[in-house]
Structure 1
Amino acid sequence: MYQRAAQLYQKTSLTSCQSPELAADSLEELRIALEELHVAEEELLQQNEELTSIRNQLEAESKRYQELFDFAPDGYLVTDVLGIIREANRAAATMLNVPQKFLIGKPLVNFIPYEERSAFRLQLQQLHNTERVQEWELRLFPRHTTEFDATLTVVTIRNNNGDVAGWRWLMRDITARKQVEAKLREIELQNLRLQETTRIRSHFLAIMSHELRSPMNAIIGFSQLLLRNQQDRLNSQQESMVQRVLNSGKHLLRLIDEILDFSKLEANCLALQPEEFNLAELISDTTAEMHSLIEQQNLKLQVKLNLENPLVVNDKYRLRQVLVNLLSNAIKFTNVGSITIEAWEPSTERIAIAVEDTGIGIAQADLKDIFTEFRQANQTLVRQHGGTGLGLSIANRLVQMMHGSITVTSELGQGSTFQVEIPRRVTLS
C-alpha cells in the first residue's frame, strides 16, 4: 500500500495539477488498492483462524498422546542412542520402582541384572542395524525389589537425516505367563509319564493275558475231557470237584478276556469286524446260553423283540459281548424278580436294546462312575460275586466304537435299566 501511494504521489507531482482526470485516476487506483488490502486482510484473518484451529488440534493430540503414554498399562520408555532414558510413563516407573521424574537421565542398563549387562550392551549396539526388535525376553532388576521376567519391543527413532536418534521401548511383565508356561511344561511332562506308564501297563496286561490264556485253556480242556470220559467214570465227589475246577477255569478265562480286551482298547488295537446278521437270532441265542444261570437264581426272563427288520450290519461278536456283559450284571445283582431284554427300532436307521432288572439298583451318586474302569458301585457285592470292574467300561467303549451310546437309569433297591442304541449299519472311518 505504501509503495502504491508513493507511486501515485510521484506521478501526480510530475504532472500538471491542471489535469483533473489524472487526479481522478489516482484516487481510483487508491480505492482499488484499499480494496485489495481489505481482501488480503480477510485472507490473513481466515488463515490465522485455520492456524489457530490446527494448533488447538495439535495441542489436543499432543495431550491425548501424553495421556496415552502416561496411563498405558504397559511400560513405555524413550532412550537416546546410548540407552539413557529421556521419557518414561507411569507404568515404567512402577515396574522399575523409581519415581517418574527420577527415571529421566538414568541408563536403562542399570535395571539389568549385573551378569546379563554385557549381553544387553552388545544387543544395544546391534539395534543400530535394525528398525524393530519384537518380544525380546530378558530379566529386569527394579530398585529395591526382586527381578522379574519381561519382554521388550524396541522401535528405532530416526532424525530428519535418517540417522538413529534413539529408541522407543515397550516393557511388559511376563512373570505370570512364565509361571503358567512352567506349569504347562510340568503338566505335559506328567502327561508323558502317565502315557508311558499306561503304555507299559497295557503292554504288560496284554502279555500276561496271553500267557495266562494258554494254561487256562488247558485246564478247561482237560476238565471237560474228564467229565465227558464215559469209560472211566468219576464218582460223584470227583465229578463235583472237576466241575468246580471247570467252572472256576471258565470264570478266570472270562476275567482274562476282559483284561485282554481292555488292554487292546487302551492301545487302540481293537478293531470292529462288521458283518450282516439277524439281531433277533443273536438275542435269542445269547439268552438261551445264559438261561441256566437265570434258572439257578430262580429269576424270570422276558424277551421282547419289536423289530420290523432284524437285519443289522455290525460286529456280531462284540455286540454279543456287550449283551452278555449286561445280562451277566443283571443276573449277578438280582436276587428276586425278573430280567427283561427288549429290542426295538427308534428310527429306520437306529436299533435300541434295553436290559432291565429288578435287582439292587445303583445309587444316584454312583451313576456317574458306572462306566469308569475299575470302579464298581457296591464293593461288598463285588467281593461276593467277583469281577474285574472292567465289564461295563469295555461295553461302553465297544458301543462307542459302533458309533452308538449306552445309558443307565436306576434307583437304589428298585432295579436298573441299561439301554444301548447303535446305527443299523456301522461305518468304519
Structure 2
Amino acid sequence: MLGTTSLHPGLEALRDGFYMLDPEWRVTYWNAAAERFLGVPREEALGQVLWEVNPQLRQSPAWEQLHRVRDEGAVREFTASNPAGGADACFLVHAAPIEGEGIAVHFRDGTEELKLNERYSRLIESIQDGFVAVDPEWKIVYLNRIAEQLLRFPRQRAIGYSLWALLPPQSPEIAGAMRASMQDGRQRRLQGITPEGEIFEGRRFDLWIYPLPGGGISMLFDDVTERFEREKDLARLAAEAQEASRAKSRFFAAVSHELRTPLNAIVGYTYLLSSAAYGPMPPEAQRAADRIGICTEHLTRLVEDIIVVTMAEVGRLPVVPAPVPLDGFLPDALQPLRFQAEAKGLRFVIQVAEPDLSLETDPNRLRQLLLALLSNAVKFTSQGEVRIEARAVQPDASEATMPTGPELHPEAVEIAVLDTGPGIAPEDRERIFGAFEQLGDPSRSDSMQRGTGLGLTIARQLATVLRGRLWVEER
C-alpha cells in the first residue's frame, strides 16, 4: 500500500485532487488537494475503504461510474457533486484503471466551468441554426435542438455516436470539407449545398465549419431552402418582366414605324400648304400651317427617338462599322449644331488632337450620338462656348472599347463635349441618362422647348451599341 508522499512528489504539487484505490476500494494515496477539497485528512483516509471515507458516494452517480471503471477496465469521465461547495458545486472527475493496482482518480472543481458551459449551451440552443460538435475521433460531443430535429436522432443517443453513422454517405462535398478542416484547422464555408439522403428531402443549406481549440470541429448549418425558393421566384419574375419589357419595346418599335407613313404625309402636305403650292392663304391660315409644321417636326423627332430607343433595347439596332477619320467627319456631322450655336451667339469649337486620328465605328450611329449630346449642350448654354475635343487615349482593360485589328491602333478614342452652361449636380449625373428624365421645373408646359427627355438615353444606348462608354464629369 502506498501511504507516503515521498513516492508521489509530482502529485503533491497538483492543484487538482488525486487519490488511488486498490482493488478492494481501500485508499492507497490521497494528495493534499484531495484533503482540501474533500475535507478529510490524509491520515484518516489512507487504508480506509472509500465509501467509509465519503459515505455520500454510495448514493451518487459516482458509485456506478467507479464500479464500471473497475469492472470494465474503461476510462470514465463524469461529474460528481461537491457538498462542501454548495448546492450547485461539482467536481469534474477522470477515473482510470491501473493494471494490477486498482483505480486512479483525478478531480477538480468544475463549478464555474459547468456554469460557463451551461451559458454557452443556452446560447447555442437559442439560435435557429443547427449546431453539431465532434471530437478528433468524429464522436458527437454536442448536438443542439435544431440539429436534433433535422437529423431526426435523439441527442441523448447522439452524444458519443459517430458522425459518419448519421451523415449520408452520398454527401462527398460535405465530408471532404469537414475532413479538410479537421486536418488543417481552417474554417470553411459551403453555400447552397443539397445533401443527399431521405432525411434532408432535397433541402438546401449554408454550412460553416470551425476548428475547436482542443481538437475536433464544430458545424453550423442554416436551412436556406426558402431563401433559394424566393430567389428562384424573383429570378423567374425578373425574366418575365424582361420579356414583357422586350415585348413592349417590340410593340413601340412596330407602332413607331407605322406612324412614319402618316407623319411623312402630314409633313409633306403641310409644306405644300405653307409654300403656297395650292395658292396663297389668308394670314391666319398661314400661321396655322406654320404651327402645324412645327408640331409635326417635333412629333417626327419624338417618333424617331422612340424607334432608336426601342430598337436598341431589343438588340435590333443595325451597326455597320467603317473607318471614320475624325478631322473631316466631325465638322461635317456637326454643321447643323454649329448654325444653332452661332445663332445664339455661342462659340462653336471642334478640336482634334491629331490630324490623322480615326476609329472604326458606324458613322451614322456616331453622328446620332454626337448630335444628341451637342443638342443638349447648345440648348442649355446661354453664353460662352460649346466645344468638342477628340484625342487618343490608352483604354482601361476594364472598360468596353472599340474593336482593334491589324490595321487599327490599339488606343481608344475619347470624344469630350464641353460647354459653359450651368452644369449638372453630382447627384443628377446618372439620373439624366434615364428615359424621359429632365432637369429643371417639370411643371413647364413648353415641351417642344424642353425636349422629350430621350436625348441622353439614346446617346448612352448608342455608346453601348458602339462598344463605348458615356459619362458626365466636371472639369
Specify the code of the residue in structure 2 equivalent to 1:353: I
Structure 2 counterpart of 1:135, which letter? E
Q: 370, 375, 386: which one pairs with 2:432?
A: 370
The 2-side partners of 1:94 and 1:312 are apart by 64
**C-alpha deviation, 1:231, in angstroms:** 6.7
- 1:197 paired to 2:244: yes
User: Judging changes above 3 Å, is the alpha-carbon distance between structure 1 residues 338 and 102 closer, same or farther for their aligned structure 2 residues?
Assistant: closer
**What's the secondary structure of 1:103's corresponding residue?**
helix
Q: Does structure 1 residue 96 correspond to structure 2 residue 148?
A: yes
Query: 5+ residue gaps in structure 1?
Result: 1-57, 64-70, 77-86, 107-126, 141-147, 152-171, 411-416, 418-429
The separation in 1 between residues aligned to 2:282 and 2:338, in whole angstroms, is 27
Task: State yes or no: 1:221 paired with 2:282.
Answer: no
TM-score, reference length from structure 1: 0.56
**Is the partner of 2:349 in helix, strand or coil?**
strand
Considering Cα pairs closer than 8 Å and 6+ residues apart, tell me whether 1 or 2 has the greater RCO.
1
Matched pairs, number: 288
SS at match of 1:290: helix
SS at structure 2 position matched to 1:340: strand
Q: CA, structure 1 residues 139+328, in 2 after alignment: closer, same or farther (shift >3 Å)?
A: same
Q: Does 1:392 align with 2:456?
A: yes
Distance 1:243 1:279, change over 3 A: farther
Question: Is the CA contact 1:304–1:341 (under 8 Å) kept in the aligned structure 2?
Answer: yes
Identify which range, 318-327 or 89-98, moves more after superposition.
Answer: 89-98
Whichever structure has more helix as a proportion of its residues is: 1
Q: Structure 2 CA distance, aligned partners of 1:328 and 1:316?
A: 18
- Preserved CA contact (<8 Å) 1:150 1:173: no
Equivalent in 224, 242, 246 of residue 177 of structure 1: 224
Separation in 2, partners of 1:369, 1:204: 26
Q: Secondary structure at the match of 2:341?
A: helix
Q: Structure 1 residues 247, 102: CA separation in 2 closer, same or farther (over 3 Å shift)?
A: closer
**Structure 1 residue 188 corresponds to structure 2 residue 238:** no
Cα deviation digits, residues 91-112 of structure 1 (max 9, x gap): 16663379x9973399xxxxxx
With over 3 angstroms needed to count, the CA separation of the structure-2 counterparts of 1:407 and 1:218, relative to structure 1, is same
| CA radius of gyration, larger in | 1
SS of alignment partner, residue 442 of structure 2: helix
1:157-216 deviation per Cα after TM superposition (whole angstroms, max 9, x unaligned): xxxxxxxxxxxxxxx986531122122112112212211221221122112211222221
Distance 2:169 2:431 in 1: 59
- Listed as ranges, the matches of 1:48-197 within 5 Å are 73-74=131-132, 89-91=141-143, 95-96=147-148, 103-104=156-157, 135-138=196-199, 176-197=223-244
Provide the secondary structure at the position in 1 that maps to 2:423. coil
Take 2:288 and 2:345, find their aligned partners in 1: how far apart are those partners?
24
Distance 1:230 1:194, change over 3 A: closer
Displacement of 1:262 in angstroms is 1.0
Query: In the aligned structure 2, how far is the partner of 1:306 from the partner of 1:212?
Result: 43
Q: CA–CA distance in 1 between the matches of 2:278 and 2:145?
A: 102
Q: Is 1:249 matched with 2:310? A: no
Asked if residue 330 in structure 1 is aligned to residue 383 in structure 2, the reply is no
Per the TM alignment, residue 267 of structure 1 is displaced from its structure 2 partner at its CA by 0.8
Taking the aligned partners of 1:221 and 1:362, their CA distance within structure 2 comes to: 39
Structure 1: how far apart are the matches of 2:384 and 2:460?
26
Whole-angstrom CA distance in 2 between matches of 1:392 and 1:386? 13
After superposition, the C-alpha distances for 1:305-361 in whole angstroms (9 at most, x for unaligned) are: 433115443211111101110111012212233222233344754333222222221
Give the structure-2-normalised TM-score.
0.51
The 1:149–1:298 alpha-carbon spacing in structure 2 relative to 1, beyond 3 Å, is: same
Unaligned runs of 5+ in 2: 1-74, 77-93, 95-123, 125-129, 160-165, 172-194, 206-218, 395-408
Contact 1:339 1:355 in 2 (8 A): yes
Q: What amino acid maps onto 1:104 in structure 2?
A: R
Distance 1:310 1:229 in 2: 48
The verdict on how the C-alpha distance between 1:342 and 1:229 changes in structure 2, with shifts beyond 3 A counting, is: farther
Q: Counterparts of 2:361 and 2:227 in 1: how far apart (Å)?
A: 47
CA–CA separation in structure 1 for the residues paired with 2:368 and 2:444: 20
What is the distance in 1 between the residues matched to 2:362 and 2:158? 79
Match of 1:355 among 417, 432, 442: 417
2:305 counterpart SS class: helix
- Residue of structure 2 equivalent to 1:164: none
Check whether the contact 2:131–2:146 (CA below 8 A) recurs between aligned residues. no
Q: How does 1:398-417 map to 2 (within 5 A)?
A: 398-410=462-474
Contact 2:368/2:459, CA 8 A, preserved across alignment:
yes
2:204–2:225: 8 Å Cα contact kept in structure 1?
Answer: no
> What secondary structure does 1:302 align onto?
strand
C-alpha distance in 2 between matches for 1:315 and 1:102: 71
Q: Tell me which residue corresponds to 1:263.
A: 310
